[in-house]
């Protein structure tokens, strides 16, 4: 495959210059996060986020790196970070887009040397609230694993780029598709099994049918596996302690659902509604989520009676 850069791919797919510029700036910021992971301090930062989760030094460092690049892109009017408690308005530049991001999702996995990721959702304007996931004009994630890779969509397919030794993101998979049937499943929040018989039966059916369990505790690598394998399903239901689940709509579920949906998968909540149609009402909003191969989601609906 000839070396197609992220810039060329965005331009050749007709991405407007301002959005192409923003995605390239985001990609550049993740190169610094990649470097920080290879060299940075894995200790605790001594602070906690909106959800009361202790922040690792890397969480804070990744957050600062990405905020700097967004602030200096001169096309961003506002951003929201999972590591911050409110939306940050930017009062300079063209202010065409607002960006929601999780700077280092699953960061606690970094100190056991497992893959982690950064997630970005891009909207037009400078406000998130009242919009839905399908209002995103683009979304992307970066997986920091054995290789660092970036997957993006501007609603014109889903495409993967791999970071090479020269610091270039080079096209490695184009027009990624998710098949209707699946072999792998990533059952999150298994603690819900004890109180949700339907969820227990769902997991048991997949286990009995010889599906292969692939759950890492990091949503980005787990969703990336489904995209790279071209099949699979990820589930994270609510339960009595967190009826609305743990995963954040704005920072995790909406951007990743846009990608999975664009690749031909389904993405629903525990009522059977599309994740992409849930109205974003507050920054810390969470939702149960089931996403991946269409036939797997049909099995979810059968067991959960939705
Ligand atoms: P649990 C990481 O903390 C995260 O937000 C997602 O990346 C991941 O899928 C989920 O939480 C893991 O949750 O309950 O399995 O630790």
pLDDT at 219 over 80: yes
pLDDT in tens, 71-112: 999 999 999 999 999 999 998 888 999 999 999 999 889 889
- Helix locations, 156-218, DSSP H: 197-208
Cα-to-centroid distance, 138 and ligand 1 (Å) = 23
**DSSP structure class, residue 135:** G
Ranges of beta strands (E only) in 154-226 are 159-163, 169-173, 184-187, 212-213
Of 32-36, 40-44, 283-287, 292-296, minimum mean pLDDT range: 40-44
Question: Model-level pTM?
Answer: 0.95
Confidence of residue 176 (pLDDT cuts 50, 70, 90): very high
Give the tens place of pLDDT for each residue, 18-61. Answer: 999 999 999 999 999 999 998 875 566 777 777 777 777 888 99
Which residues make up the CATH 3.30.540.10 domain(s) of the chain?
Answer: 6-173
Mean pLDDT for the chain overall: 95
Q: 106 in ligand 1 pocket by Cβ < 6 Å?
A: yes
Phi, psi of 202 (to 5 degrees): -65, -50
- In angstroms, rounded to a whole number, what is the distance separating the alpha carbons of residues 140 and 159? 10
pLDDT at 51: 75
| Centre of ligand 1 from the C-alpha of residue 180, in Å | 25
- Residue 54: predicted pLDDT: 73
> What pLDDT score was predicted for residue 1?
55
Strands 212-213 and 233-236: unpaired
- pLDDT computed for residue 42 by the predictor: 59
What's the CA gap between 125 and 185, in Å, rounded?
37
Q: Residue 52: its pLDDT value, please?
A: 74
Per residue in 236-245, pLDDT (tens digit) is 999 999 999 9
Res 65 pLDDT > 90: yes
Residue 233 has pLDDT above 80, yes or no: yes
Ligand 1 center–CA 289 separation, angstroms: 12
Residues in the chain: 306
Q: What pLDDT, on the 0 to 100 scale, is given for residue 91?
A: 87
300: Cα separation from own chain's centroid = 21
Ligand 1 pocket test target in 246, 252, 255 with most atoms within 8 Å of CB: 246
Query: How many angstroms does the Cα of residue 247 sit away from the middle of ligand 1?
Result: 7
- Residues of the chain with pLDDT > 90, as a percent, come to 88
C-beta of 238 in contact with ligand 1 (< 6 A): no
**pLDDT tens digits for 123-152?**
999 999 999 999 999 999 999 999 999 999
Distance 22 CA to ligand 1 centre (A): 28
* Pocket probe mutation, ligand 1, options 101, 106, 223, max atoms within 8 Å of Cβ: 106
Contact call for residues 49 and 60 (beta carbons, < 8 A): no
237 lines ligand 1 (CB under 6 A): no
Tell me the average pLDDT across 287-297.
98
Q: What CATH class is the domain 184-304?
A: alpha beta
Q: Is 188 in the pocket of ligand 1 (CB under 6 A)?
A: yes
Q: Is the CB of 219 under 6 A from ligand 1?
A: yes
CA of 284 to the centre of ligand 1 (A): 15
Say which CATH class 6-173 falls into: alpha beta
- The b-or-e profile of 53-65 (16+ CB within 10 A means b, else e) is eebbbbbbbbbeb
Query: How much is the pLDDT for 75?
Result: 97
Instruction: Considering the chain, tell me which residue range(s) the CATH 3.40.190.80 domain(s) occupy.
Output: 184-304
CA distances for 128 relative to 20, 154, 160, 234, 300, angstroms = 20, 18, 26, 25, 29
pLDDT at residue 41, rounded to an integer: 59
- Give yes or no for residue 297 having a pLDDT over 90: yes
CA of 236 from ligand 1 middle (Å) equals 9
């Amino acid at each position: 495959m000839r070396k197609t850069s992220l810039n060329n791919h965005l331009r050749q797919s007709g991405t407007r210059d301002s959005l192409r510029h923003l995605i390239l700036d985001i990609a550049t910021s993740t190169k610094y996060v990649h470097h920080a992971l290879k060299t940075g301090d894995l200790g605790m930062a001594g602070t906690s986020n909106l959800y009361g989760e202790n922040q690792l030094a890397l969480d804070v460092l990744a957050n600062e790196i990405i905020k700097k690049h967004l602030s200096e892109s001169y096309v961003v009017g506002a951003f929201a970070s999972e590591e911050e408690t409110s939306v940050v308005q930017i009062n300079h530049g063209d202010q065409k887009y607002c960006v929601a991001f999780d700077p280092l999702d699953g960061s606690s996995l970094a100190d056991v040397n497992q893959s982690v990721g950064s997630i970005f959702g891009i909207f037009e304007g400078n406000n998130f609230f009242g919009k839905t996931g399908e209002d995103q004009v683009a979304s992307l994630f970066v997986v920091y694993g054995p290789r660092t890779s970036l997957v993006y969509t501007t609603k014109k397919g889903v495409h993967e780029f791999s970071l090479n030794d020269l610091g270039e993101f080079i096209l490695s998979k184009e027009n990624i598709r998710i098949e209707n049937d699946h072999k792998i499943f990533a059952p999150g929040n298994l603690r819900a099994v004890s109180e949700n018989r339907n969820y227990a039966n769902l997991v048991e059916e997949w286990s009995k049918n010889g599906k292969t369990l692939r759950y890492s505790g990091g949503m980005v690598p787990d969703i990336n596996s489904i995209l790279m394998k071209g099949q699979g399903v990820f589930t994270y239901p609510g339960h009595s302690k967190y009826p609305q689940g743990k995963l954040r709509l704005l920072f995790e579920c909406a951007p990743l659902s846009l990608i999975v949906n664009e690749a031909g998968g389904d993405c629903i909540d525990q009522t059977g509604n599309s994740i992409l149609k849930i109205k974003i009402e507050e920054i810390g909003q969470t939702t149960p989520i089931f996403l991946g191969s269409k036939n797997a989601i049909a099995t979810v609906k059968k067991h959960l009676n939705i």
